[in-house]
Structure 1
Amino acid sequence: MLFDSVVFLFSFLPVVLILYYLAPGRLKEAVLLLANLVFYAWGEPVGVLVLICSVIFNYICGLDIAGKTKNRRRARLSLIINLAVNLGVLGFFKYGRAVLTGLGAVLPVDIPYQGERLPIGMTFYTFQILSYIIEVYRGNVKAQKNIMDFALYVTMFPKLLIGPVVRYPDIEKQLHTRQLSVGKLGEGMMYLVLGLMKKAVLADTIGVVYAKVISLETGQMSVLSAWLGCAAFALQIYYDFSGYSDMAVGLGKMLGFDLPKNFDHPYIAGSTTEFWYRWHTSLRGWFREYVYYPLGGGETDEGRQVRNILAVWLLVGLYHGLSWNYIVWGLYCGILMAAEKLFLWRMLDGLPGFLGHIYSIVLVLIGWVFFFSPGIGEALSYLGVMFGAGASGLVDDQGMYLLVTNLSWFIIMVLGLMPFIHKGFDSIADQGDKGWAVVNAAVYALIFAVCFAYLTTGPHGPFLYLAF
């Protein structure tokens, strides 16, 4: 079940909210846990068994590690075993198919078994489980003795499928103490509607442009078409992913939880480092806390700094899939960030602001080509067309048609990247008098009506990050 489905919006969510708000005391947790499992089992009837087994296993491991705090050697051994099991199971589902396919291509034997499909959301809930286990080992949090509270942390449906990746210390207290109010419910609904608009109206619409360009043969693609396709993907993945994240934050607020925002206007960045600092902030925080800092963080030795940055970005690439295009994309981003940290920052500091933005956007767009291409060869061919090599020309009829017919959408979406648009929505919501409250309600009701029209009649595709 997905947030942008009619079943979720008009059946599942209303029923859950009614039961949740009516349930007294601790029964709210039981209602929410049941809702989480139904939500996940709707699309993952087999995967829900893996999820339940993971919850039980890691609940026991957390208690085991906490009980060995006085013997760090035994606690460390338990931690290593837990990490090996969690990452091993994730690796089996995430990379098993790719590994066996690769072996089948090089070995002189037939390997009919191609591995199991990755259950939706498994990467995200595994990372959140690892946050809990590591923090218990470090002694920063107490082991959760109530299995229902631990299960709520892992399975909470607003963040279960695509995040945000919530670290356990950031939500521990909310599992026990959270406030429900009409104001928070209304705020959550506004986040939900804006996120739905990003996905159903903006991301899915511009995704059609990307699909048309990517379907062209390399020799049939002009420079203009190639840049339009890349820009369309960059906008699609932002509005798709940030839309889901906004919906997750909104649903969390409706249930009394404060989940972290996942995006902070990344396309206004003046460097690639700043761009990735603003993009998928919860995952960045996870890698910083549990990979970058343990490796030594930003040590004074420049060689180690480069090593740590590249190691993290190699893992970020592998996080997205066992494919050379993701590995090269991750290393490309890491090399840029290392170069900016070592020497490029001096040049960037001296540039006018708009040149820094152009520098950042161009390099990020080049990186997206590696991300969306099925392989390195295809990525290099596409990049070649973007810069004139192998292109059918600088401009062609197809490119001009796509530009002219979608120009208004490109303008709207570029404006939507700017902070002042969001501040405008916030200023309407923050007005205290009843008149503005009516205006605010009418604006969001209209947006929701438009979203519903697009959901039922417009182009519609799955959330892009469900693949990861």
Structure 2
Amino acid sequence: MPIVLAAYFISPKRLKTLILFLASLFFYAWGEQLLVIIMLTSAVVDFFAGQLIEKGFRKLGLGMSIATNLSLLGFFKYFNFTFDNFHAILDGFGYTGDFFDTLPTIALPIGISFYTFQTLSYTIDVYRGKVPANRNFVDFACYVTMFPQLVAGPIVRYADINDQLNNKEISFSNFHKGVERFIIGLSKKVFIANTFGAIADGIFAEDIGNLSTPMAWLGIVAYSFQIYFDFSGYSDMAIGLGRMFGFKFLENFNYPYISKSIKEFWRRWHISLSTWFRDYVYISLGGNRSGKYRTYVNLFIVFFVTGLWHGASWNFVVWGLFHGVFIVIERVGFDAWLSSRWKPIQHFYTLLVVIIGWVFFRAADLSTALLYLKKMFVYSSGEVSLNSYLAYHHLTPRTLFFVLVAVVFSMPVYKFLDDKVLPERIPLLRPVVFCSLFVLSIVYIGSETYNPFIYFRF
């Protein structure tokens, strides 16, 4: 990172994009080796597809882009899922052959769901006339491969950074803001997400039949904190890194756990993905322009695809459709009734639906998810000795402190602190706070072996 930053800042303006492109290729190839070819193939195809669209071969260019990208994504992400389900169906009819045992296990290239959607947004926007086709392959490939947000988002649309590729806002002020944002994300990840991740993993690893109802709730609430602070922390780091290189990526989270409806939750959660599906799937299907029943069908399609995008598993499909059901219920009229209720009731309803949904997201399979939900809502004392051990192991003063921290920072508290507590008129306080957070984060990473980035698998 220091080498890349040094090379980037001392190089002339015309070479900065090339350096960032080469650094991104090196970064991805270091971990994925030959799988970098898949990402480059997507970039090359979409670059020329944009040219074809602009030269008048509109349907050919768009079709080539969609077919290539969805074929690559479908093969690498859903090959094994498809044949596993096909195998299960044939088994139900008495199939006893060994054909499926000979099929290879296809490795999932890291970040393929993100860069595939990025390049598709480019060709669709060129087709719709929203952006001109890029005529510089290095600029376009830099956009596709940019390492700050490559492996876990946010999904950056070409239209949002087209002008920035050649007019980056490189300044000490931008770099300083980027460093601060990176440190915030790193702190959220290593202090909060990892703390609750250890609790969730420990509880979900136990035999569900032995868990008590309170312990089951502890496990899923811990996971709810983990996934939010893990993913929003990574998004903060990506946005901060982008800012350091002169790019302004759009926000990806806006305190989703303060939402008062599921509709509002999806306006605040993983914003780059939800708006992508809104603009490129929901609107393309007709949106709400073809009557209320067609609108409901379109919403279910969007949330089915949203679930499937997260992983090749029926758990994710059920999770997506579960949210789709409540989106439709709210649209039918429940939203109007809910908005007139006491606000704590609105919050309670939203958090309850979201937390139940996370069970499907976290459990190993559907049967496990259903057993876990039963444990949550049908009281059980569980295996007393086991639950006593888990409670003693997890409910330490340190954990309780981070519960308080997680609750507070799930709300718009940082903006208040940034404006009121860390103002520039106290010049030494701000750098001391951020340097301390950074050093403590590095110490934590160096001393702990538990450091999962759970969104890498999507």
- Residue in 2 that maps onto 1:85: 68
- Percent identity between the two aligned chains: 39
- Residue in 2 that maps onto 1:17: 5
- Residue in 2 that maps onto 1:136: 126
Instruction: Give the TM-score normalised by structure 2.
Output: 0.94
Secondary structure class of the residue paired with 2:427: helix
- Residue in 2 that maps onto 1:257: 247
Contact 1:222 1:399 in 2 (8 A): no
Instruction: Tell me, yes or no, if structure 1 residue 56 matches structure 2 residue 44.
Output: yes
Aligned equivalents of 1:88 and 1:115: distance in 2?
Answer: 17
Q: Could you say what the CA RMSD is over the residues aligned between the two structures, in angstroms? A: 1.8
Secondary structure class of the residue paired with 1:259: coil
Aligned equivalents of 2:391 and 2:18: distance in 1?
Answer: 56
Contact 2:50 2:61 in 1 (8 A): no
- Residue in 2 that maps onto 1:36: 24
Provide the aligned length of Structure 1 versus Structure 2: 448
Aligned equivalents of 2:266 and 2:383: distance in 1?
Answer: 33
Instruction: Tell me, yes or no, if structure 1 residue 67 matches structure 2 residue 55.
Output: yes
Map Cα deviations across residues 323-379 of structure 1 (whole Å, 9 max, x no partner).
211111111000001101111112211211111111111110000001111211111
- Residue in 2 that maps onto 1:114: 104
Secondary structure class of the residue paired with 1:44: helix
Structure 1: 5+ residue stretches without partners: 1-12, 69-73
The amino acid of 1:78's aligned partner reads G
- After TM superposition, the structure 1 = structure 2 runs for residues 149-228 of structure 1, keeping only pairs within 5 Å, are 149-228=139-218
Farther off after superposition, 405-414 or 196-205: 405-414
- Residue in 1 that maps onto 2:346: 356
Contact 1:325 1:370 in 2 (8 A): yes
How far the C-alpha of 1:14 sits from its partner, in A, is 1.0
- Residue in 2 that maps onto 1:450: 440
- Residue in 1 that maps onto 2:219: 229
Contact 1:415 1:421 in 2 (8 A): no
Secondary structure class of the residue paired with 1:356: helix
Contact 1:141 1:169 in 2 (8 A): yes
- Residue in 2 that maps onto 1:47: 35
Change in CA separation of 1:338 and 1:77 when aligned onto 2, cut-off 3 Å: same
- Residue in 2 that maps onto 1:425: 418
The amino acid of 1:397's aligned partner reads S
The amino acid of 1:425's aligned partner reads D
How far the C-alpha of 1:391 sits from its partner, in A, is 5.7
Instruction: Tell me, yes or no, if structure 1 residue 414 matches structure 2 residue 404.
Output: no
Aligned equivalents of 1:352 and 1:400: distance in 2?
Answer: 34
Contact 1:100 1:115 in 2 (8 A): no
Change in CA separation of 1:357 and 1:100 when aligned onto 2, cut-off 3 Å: same
Aligned equivalents of 1:367 and 1:188: distance in 2?
Answer: 33
Q: 1:397 aligns with which of 362, 385, 388?
A: 388
- After TM superposition, the structure 1 = structure 2 runs for residues 372-387 of structure 1, keeping only pairs within 5 Å, are 372-387=362-377
How far the C-alpha of 1:25 sits from its partner, in A, is 1.8
Aligned equivalents of 1:393 and 1:352: distance in 2?
Answer: 38
Aligned equivalents of 2:12 and 2:370: distance in 1?
Answer: 59
Farther off after superposition, 109-118 or 372-381: 109-118
How far the C-alpha of 1:42 sits from its partner, in A, is 1.3
Structure 2: 5+ residue stretches without partners: none
Aligned equivalents of 1:396 and 1:150: distance in 2?
Answer: 54
Contact 1:225 1:398 in 2 (8 A): no
